[in-house]
Amino acid sequence: MNELRLSPSRVNDFQNCPQLYKYRAIDKLAEKPSLDAHRGTLVHTVLHDLFDSPPAKRTLETAIELLPSRWVTQLHESPELQGLITSEKEWLDRAGSLLETYFHLEKPETFEATHREIHLECDLTEKLYLHGYVDRLDVAPTGEVRIIDYKTGKAPKPGWEEKALFQLRVYALLYWKREGVLPKLLQLIYLGDGKLVKNSPTQKDLDATESTLISIAEQIWSATDKDDWKPKPSRLCDWCSFKDICPAHQ
């Protein structure tokens, strides 16, 4: 039984479709560029760099000013995007609209972002390594911790919030394991529709998250030993890069 590396993204892949997990985590197949994902990267980069400015300059105007240079850097790193975008103005305007929504939800001039893109990791068991990158982690002067994740899509429909919060509970578990501090607030910021999903985790929540992760790891080990990766056809298949080769669609 080899060591397994898990992140919230890979856990989500396996839960959505074990075959997708295999294509990404084991076969490491290349995927088609996703404009939505790249737009998210651009907006995340601007929000990250915004906190390099002094509080009084953390404005929408500053964020919009950052867009062109960050976009040039992203194009340099992913030149294939150049041929996919028909109107650079529309592309940047859409990113700017998402940034405008952010400023309706938070006032970045009123607080400091203690950590941005912080990497959290731990060995959950001898054979299970868990890690993840947190968009933002704020530590208040009084010690309370909040974990923030930006989403450029829309908030989940009522009843689906728990699934969305699982990612942040994994981050909370990692931080708790490392620092011995239980985060006070988990918050998902949905820039697609300007909604927030919040949760105050308990130790019981994080214990349950740890148990779920260990259970998923055991399922992955079992699938690996049997080489049995059952696809789960769903509406998500329409956005999957591997639909053409997936046995569920042959």
Domains of the chain and CATH, by start:
35-110 (no CATH), 112-225 (3.90.320.10)
Give pTM, 2 decimals.
0.94
**Strand ranges, E, within the chain:** 4-6, 115-125, 128-139, 145-151, 185-190, 195-199
Tokens of 72: 């040039």
Crossing angle of helices 203-226 and 8-16, in 10° steps, is 60
Task: Tell me the pLDDT tens digit for each residue of 87-101.
Answer: 999 999 999 999 999
pLDDT value of residue 2: 75
Least confident of 35-39, 62-66, 136-140: 35-39
